[in-house]
Copies of this chain bind each other. A is one copy, B any other.
Amino acid sequence: MPMTPEAIDAFLAEPRMAHLATVDAEGRPRVRPVWYLWRDGALWITTRQRVRHTGRDLTTSPTVAVSIASEERPYRAVVVHGRPEVIPKDRDALSDVATRYGEAQGRAFVEEAMAQDDRVILRIVPDELISWDYGTTS
C-alpha cells in the first residue's frame, strides 16, 4: 500500500539512513549510505564528489535513485528518482542535515565537512516518489 503524503512526510522526518544509487561511466550501479533531510518537497543529501565517486557518476549519468526503509515492522519504504542539483557546501544546510542524526556529533561533522574540498550538497526534487507500507518485505 502506498503511504499518504502526510505519512510520507512523517516517515521521512525520522533520521534514517538513505541509500543513494548512481550509475558509473561503465553503466554499472553504485550505491552508498548517506544522511538526508526531507524539506519543502526535496531530499537534501550530503556526500563527497571524489571520495564517494558521486561527482564522477553524475557527470555521465545525472539521474539518481534513493531508497529509505524502516528496519522494523511494519515495514515502510520510500524510493525517490530525480536529477540532483549540486549545491556548494554551506554551513547552515550541512548543519540542518547532520544535526538530525545527533546534535553534538552533527556539529562536529559540519566542521570536518567544511574542510573537505569535495563535500557538496545534493538537492533532489523527486521526478517520481514510490512508497510502501506493508507487513512483509519483497
Contact = CB atoms under 8 A, between A and B. Distances in A.
Interface of A: 16-17, 19, 21-23, 27-35, 46-48, 51-52, 61, 63-67, 69-71, 73, 75, 77, 79, 81, 101-102, 105, 108-109, 112-113, 116, 135-138
Given A35-B137, A138-B47, A138-B51, A71 B28 contact: no
Copies of this chain in the oligomer: 2
- Which of A47, A52, A69, A116 counts the most chain B CB atoms within 10 A? A69
A81 B135 CA distance: 29
Contacts of A66: 31
A102 B79 contact: no
- Which of A28, A34, A63, A64 counts the most chain B CB atoms within 10 A? A28
